[in-house]
């Protein structure tokens, strides 16, 4: 059976208007195809428009021009087939882990049909035993694991990741990167990540899409043709990091 989750971006542009009426272009004429089940990362200077593009894919923003497709169906707004994980977990503080993970199922009115999935995804992200814990009783890494489970329980075709490890310490970041790879391999969704961490992009991705300064344009696509798991200190990884950094500084 053919995999689902292909994203096609065709000539997408997006402008913002500031408080004094000036237009600022955030994304300019981006065209890109992301294969079903692929793991890609967007990299570029801070403020270049990477997150704007991610939010357009999520359906949270509408492009001013161009079109996007998921499996040949136009993207016209948010949908449960595209999960989104932010840098901050954005959990409901009055709900425990179990309730946060189940929230999407209840909002879609499918909780009773899929309630057994709640424990399944809690176990999958490594939070067994913390089902009744409130967010403020959890570490930052555990809160982010909860956010992953909440996004994945809807069984999205595409998981969109906006610097998901940016607020974590180095040890927790590496542990969660490894967990994300396990989930991606096991479940088979398409993963699209915005990151400023070159090593993270090389270790996780199959392709790194390098964006220009604002407005965001694709200036390079770096294939990462290395087997998983990837040794962060391997010469091939180090050389790819150098090459991507060189492209980022163009």
Picking from 73-82, 167-176, 183-192, which range would have the lowest pLDDT averaged per residue?
Answer: 167-176
Confidence of residue 20 (pLDDT cuts 50, 70, 90): confident
Residue owning tokens 């990362």: 41
User: Which pLDDT does position 2 carry in this prediction?
Assistant: 59
User: Which pLDDT does position 1 carry in this prediction?
Assistant: 47
pLDDT surpassing 70 at residue 170: yes
What does the pLDDT look like over 52-84, one tens digit per residue? 999 999 999 999 999 999 999 999 999 999 999
Query: What's the pTM?
Result: 0.93
Mean pLDDT value of segment 75-100: 94
Confidence of residue 47 (pLDDT cuts 50, 70, 90): confident
pLDDT surpassing 80 at residue 89: yes
What does the pLDDT look like over 26-43, one tens digit per residue? 999 999 999 999 999 999
User: Which pLDDT does position 3 carry in this prediction?
Assistant: 76
With pLDDT > 90 as the criterion, what percentage of the chain qualifies? Answer: 85
User: Which pLDDT does position 247 carry in this prediction?
Assistant: 86
pLDDT surpassing 90 at residue 222: yes
pLDDT surpassing 80 at residue 250: no
- List domains and CATH numbers for the chain: 1-36+43-81+196-250 (3.40.50.300)
What does the pLDDT look like over 107-141, one tens digit per residue? 999 999 999 999 999 999 999 999 999 999 999 99
Q: Are 52 and 32 within 8 A, CB to CB? A: no
């Amino acid at each position: 059976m053919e995999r689902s989750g292909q994203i096609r971006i065709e000539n997408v542009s997006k402008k913002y208007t500031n408080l004094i009426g000036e237009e600022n272009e955030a994304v300019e004429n981006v065209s890109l195809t992301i294969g079903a089940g692929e793991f890609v990362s967007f990299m570029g200077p801070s403020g270049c428009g990477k997150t704007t593009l991610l939010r357009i894919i999520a359906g949270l923003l509408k492009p001013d021009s161009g079109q996007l497709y998921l499996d040949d169906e136009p993207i016209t707004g948010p949908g449960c087939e595209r999960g989104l994980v932010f840098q901050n977990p954005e959990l409901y503080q009055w709900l425990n882990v179990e309730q946060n993970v189940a929230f999407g199922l209840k909002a879609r009115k499918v909780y009773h049909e899929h309630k057994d999935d709640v424990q399944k995804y809690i176990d999958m992200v490594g939070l067994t035993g913390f089902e009744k814990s409130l967010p403020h009783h959890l570490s930052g890494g555990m809160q982010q694991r909860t956010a992953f489970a909440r996004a994945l329980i809807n069984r999205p075709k595409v998981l969109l990741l906006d610097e998901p490890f940016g607020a974590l310490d180095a040890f927790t970041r590496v542990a969660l990167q490894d967990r994300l790879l396990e989930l991606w391999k096991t479940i088979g969704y398409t993963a699209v990540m915005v990151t400023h961490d070159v090593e993270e992009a090389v270790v996780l991705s199959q392709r790194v899409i390098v964006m220009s300064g604002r407005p965001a344009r694709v200036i390079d696509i770096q294939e990462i043709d290395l087997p998983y798991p990837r040794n962060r200190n391997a010469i091939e990884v180090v050389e790819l990091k150098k090459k991507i950094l060189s492209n980022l500084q163009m």
